[in-house]
Chains A and B, each alone.
Chain A
Amino acid sequence: MHKVYHRIEQVAGSVITVRADGVAYGELAQVVGTLGTSLAQVIRLDGEKVFLQVFAGSRGIATDAQVRFLGHKMDVSFTDALLGRVFNGSGEPRDNGPALDEHRIAIGGPSVNPAKRIIPRKMVRTGIPMIDVFNSLVESQKLPIFAAAGEPYNQLLARIALQAEVDIIILGGMGLKHDDYLQFRDTLEKNGALSRSILFIHTAADPTVECQMVPDISLAVAEQFALQNKRVLVLLTDMTSFADALKEIAITMEQIPANRGYPGDLYSQLASRYEKAVDFEGAGSITILAVTTMPGDDVTHPVPDNTGYITEGQFYLRNGRIEPFGSLSRLKQQVNGRTREDHRTVMNTMIQLYASYKETLEKQSMGFRMSAWDRKLLRYGERFEKEMMDLSVNIPLEAALDLGWQIMADCFEPEETGISSKLIEKFWPKKNA
């Protein structure tokens, strides 16, 4: 059967080198170290030398450790039995359930033929006005949440997951704190969503290589469900940990870094994951919602910067609120014309007024005199922040639009908003004089 090799020539970081022949690029191997058995993947071939990335890290690998090549690529079992289960980045159970072995599928498969994609047209309702009204989430969209450390991004992610109308939720956790993982699991369980969820969790204490595999394994499973006509929502948190894992491994492999230590192919690496978001012609869809923490709250950091070029917009989470400026859903135009006729107008007008409010705030802080108009704006801004932007607000789109009209009517005269008279007539709330 499979030959076993015993001579490890080199151990550096998580990469070990053995001499072997007949080994295929990308093939898996089993490495038996003093601390246990781990999977490893071939990442380079050079003559007889085979470079293997050991998933559990190289700690405890002896120079005479056993290496047995398995003759296949990294794969994961795909069955309905995955639902409700928790796994690690190598696809092994993290809960106390049994390991799954039937119907294995390769991970990191080829990309979708652009000719088989369709233009996304279905809105994903979340009950969060800052998303539904101002930056609608669309099925098959890939959208990151940009946040500084300490923002409640995981709570937001969990809430969207629970409220979104999807068939299956797949959570890929990378570098998660153990508490955060437990919180995710408990939230899903408490709300009865665990039975339609699958969790692939890498915590900060687990080996780096497993972190790097979480997106691939999550998306490979998502893809199979989508092909079975399911609408799948994939949550990835935190993609900056994923990028850092790439960086760590690239540096160990002595690759020349491009920007702040990150490898030159960071863009392609991120893109090949995010681009798995798809609306299949004649089958289901994959929507990806990811968290990208911004080191130093700096959006020009290589990870958020490259992400912004790949994804279809972004949500900025700042001070516990989704910031209306900077946040963008590139696909909102595809859906918000067909929700309610006042949707786009409310969206644009309220944001313009909020921008004016921000200018007034600036004037106020510089000690300029406040005009009657300024005072109206101040009143409006406060209500907007409290009743629309606050993340605890949980109302359907239509109610949010009505609320928008109410706030505007309470603060302004109709003509001050610049809304067309046709819509004013239909939607402007009548004053109870």
Chain B
Amino acid sequence: MSENIGKIVGVNGNLITVRFEEAITQNEVGYARTGGIGLRAEVIRIRGDRAEMQVFEDTAGLKVGDDVVFSGNLLSVELGPGLLGQVFDGLQNPLPKLAEQCGFFLQRGTYLQALDRDRKWDYTPVAKKGDEVQAGDTIGTVPEGIFTHRIMVPFRLSGKYTVEETVAAGSYGIETVVAKLKDARGTLVDVTMVQVWPVKVPIKAYAERLRPVEPLVTKVRIIDTFFPVARGGVYCIPGPFGAGKTVLQQITSKYADVDIVLVAACGERAGEVVETLREFPELTDPRTGRSLMERTMIVCNTSSMPVAAREASVYTAVTICEYYRQMGLNVLLLADSTSRWAQALREMSGRLEEIPGEEAFPAYLESTIASFYERGGVVRLRDGSTGSVTIGGTVSPAGGNFDEPVTQATLKVVGAFHGLNRERSDARRYPAIHPLDSWSRYTGVVDAAQVADARRILRQGSEVNQMMKVVGEEGTSIEDFVLYLKSEYLDAAYLQQDSFHDVDGATSADRQQYVFGKIHGILMATVKFADKDAARKWFLQLTSVTKDWNRVAMDTDEFKQLERRIDAMLAEVSENA
């Protein structure tokens, strides 16, 4: 077969213009040849006999007249056993292996296979000869760490197939043909353990999409109680720099109650990825007792890596998530930060000289963000099991101002909004999620009526606080002042959480229900004080006892002791006493 080859006619940054003769496809991958290497590029616009392609590498050295070899494939990823625990760049190159081959620096034009060809897997066939199957059905399984990895009928096959042949149980490499399928016309298709899938197309081999209802426990109290996330839901965390977006993501990646976490470091600091990379293998997953890395994958295209690959990285990440969802697993994708991805779109749009929208972002920004977040969801698979992809994306708005296009486009499509706030982070009130501005449409782990009460108190307390700034403490009634103290107490003793503390850092759903019930009782109680100083003193003391309470494990005597102390303190000042 002859290769489809085009010629470069223009280079502008990482955008090349290529003249072609034979048919090419939008989003097809090609390789620009220079000095013995091929630089991967993707077709992003076709006009007449010229295609504009974004190159995923530095374009230095390319000349007019150089060859571009079209591959005939869309930008795709490899899916199969061995993805877990890996660290990939935005184009699914395994970084540790790349380091072995190229040393300290990322050499352009070096592409490695994502999955290890030599590794053997213990394969157990599930489908039998004569079974009728279709895309996404399980043919066999292999154990991958703590999971049973399903080898499925390739998603690209449409229609019904009959199993013609299967291999016996045994140890095989991923390229072994484990089954042969026959379609209605009698054509045979080989099935191996690895399949490829174009990243920009959602995998749809499921029976139906469901509404996300089950809460995803992150063990962060302000999230689970006040602004919950659902399994299969999508949420965003916008915030100015230094407000704690990345720390919140790291905490979530450690404690979230899901099967698999994929961290997509998109255009952010390399140092942060290194922390995950070096620390996770040492940490134990509290759910399984195994290394945390066994349930984690990292796709990283940090800020100094090529911009076009940054755009690809979020799609690579979500495609891998969808693949594991097809096995009936709950997967969480943490994308940090979607603004960098949007900026990559903007850079490319500028080079294409498209008519700019707001702040020079392209007009298709909103639809692109929307269709990305739509890839999250809960699905019922054809075998009756369910799987989910939850997407949490951070947003880095310019100047910390949420009225910018990326934040606004994201808010339209997410189900929960955790807005980080500069004032709260400056006051060291972590997590700095703003308790009044944020919202969630999902159901949480705590009784909704109680949460509504607490919200009311937060709002009223904040109003009293505003008023006090004008009239001073002297001009405020004791009732209002107590309301303010109650809201501050709720903030300090429940909303704020020490992420680095062993116990306080992660609060289980049971504990949240229990503790919040107690705090709700305090908030609702009618309390009486001689004067404002007495009230302040009492609340300060209560705050410090409650904070101690948060720091001890739930099944200890100390926990009960502190609880009794809180009860006793409340009894002292309660009106009914």
Contact = CB atoms under 8 A, between A and B. Distances in A.
Contacts of B274: 114, 117-119
A309 B396 contact: yes
A305 B63 contact: no
Residue from B99, B340, B356 with most neighbouring chain A CB atoms (10 Å): B99
Contacts of B359: 258-259
Contact of B304 (A27, A271, A308): A271
Contacts of A272: 303-304
Contacts of A120: 271
A44 interface: yes
Interface residues of A, number: 60
Interface string A241-272: 00000000000000111110001110110011
A305 B398 contact: yes
A243 to B, nearest CB: 14
A306 B340 CA distance: 11
B103 interface: yes
B95 A73 contact: no
B304 A25 contact: no
Contacts of B304: 111, 271-272, 274-276
A120 B269 CA distance: 14
Interface stretch (A45-53, A372-380, A423-431): A45-53
Interface string B4-24: 000011111100010000000
Given A45-B63, A115-B95, A274-B304, 6 more contacts: A26-B61, A44-B11, A113-B95, A114-B95, A114-B274, A268-B303
Contact of A258 (B10, B17, B241, B346): B346
A229 interface: no
Contact of B12 (A46, A73, A118): A46
Given A45-B10, A256-B350, A272-B304, A300 B278 contact: no
Interface stretch (B104-112, B166-174, B254-262): B104-112
Interface in A361-396: 368
A117 B300 CA distance: 13
B275 A119 contact: yes
Contact of A267 (B12, B340, B350): B340
Contact of A265 (B8, B11, B107, B307): B307
B64 A21 contact: yes
Contact of B307 (A255, A258, A268, A276): A268
B343 interface: yes
B408 interface: no
B413 interface: no
Given A115-B277, A268-B347, A25 B105 contact: no
A23 B108 CA distance: 20
B12 A44 contact: yes
Interface of B: 8-13, 17, 34, 58-65, 87, 95-96, 98-99, 102-108, 240-242, 267, 269-271, 273-275, 277-279, 300, 302-305, 307, 340, 343-344, 346-347, 350, 353, 356, 359-360, 396, 398-401, 426, 472
**Majority SS of interface residues in chain B?**
mixed
B270 A112 contact: yes
A308 B242 contact: yes
A300 to B, nearest CB: 3
B182 to A, nearest CB: 44
A256 B359 CA distance: 10
Contacts of B102: 113
Contacts of B63: 22-25, 45
Contact of B59 (A25, A114, A256, A267): A25
Nearest to B301: A114
A302 B398 contact: yes
B307 A109 contact: no
B108 A300 contact: no
Interface string A82-118: 0000000000000000000000000001111111111
A90 to B, nearest CB: 18
A73 B60 contact: yes
Nearest to A226: B104
B502 to A, nearest CB: 15
B271 A110 contact: no
B87 A114 contact: yes
A116 B97 CA distance: 11
A196 to B, nearest CB: 23
Nearest to B101: A113
Interface of A: 21-27, 44-48, 73, 109-120, 227, 255-259, 263-265, 267-268, 271-272, 274-276, 278, 280, 283, 300, 302, 305-306, 308-310, 312-314, 325-326, 328, 330-331, 368
A23 B61 CA distance: 8
A115 B87 contact: yes
A118 B426 contact: no
B62 A275 contact: no
A113 B108 contact: no
Nearest to B97: A115
Given A114-B273, A117-B271, A305-B398, A258 B360 contact: yes
Contact of A114 (B277, B344, B356, B399): B277
Contacts of B396: 309
A114 B350 contact: no
A294 to B, nearest CB: 12
A24 B60 contact: yes
A305 to B, nearest CB: 5
B555 to A, nearest CB: 26
7 contacts: A46-B9, A110-B105, A117-B274, A118-B274, A268-B344, A274-B304, A310-B303
A117 B58 CA distance: 21
A112 to B, nearest CB: 6
Given A48-B64, A113-B98, A115-B87, A265 B347 contact: yes
A310 B278 contact: no
A25 B11 contact: yes
Contacts of A23: 63-64
Contact of B356 (A111, A256, A271): A256
A257 B271 CA distance: 30
A227 B105 CA distance: 11
B222 to A, nearest CB: 22
- Per CB-CB distance, the 4 closest pairs between chain A and chain B, nearest first, are A300-B399, A26-B60, A271-B303, A275-B304
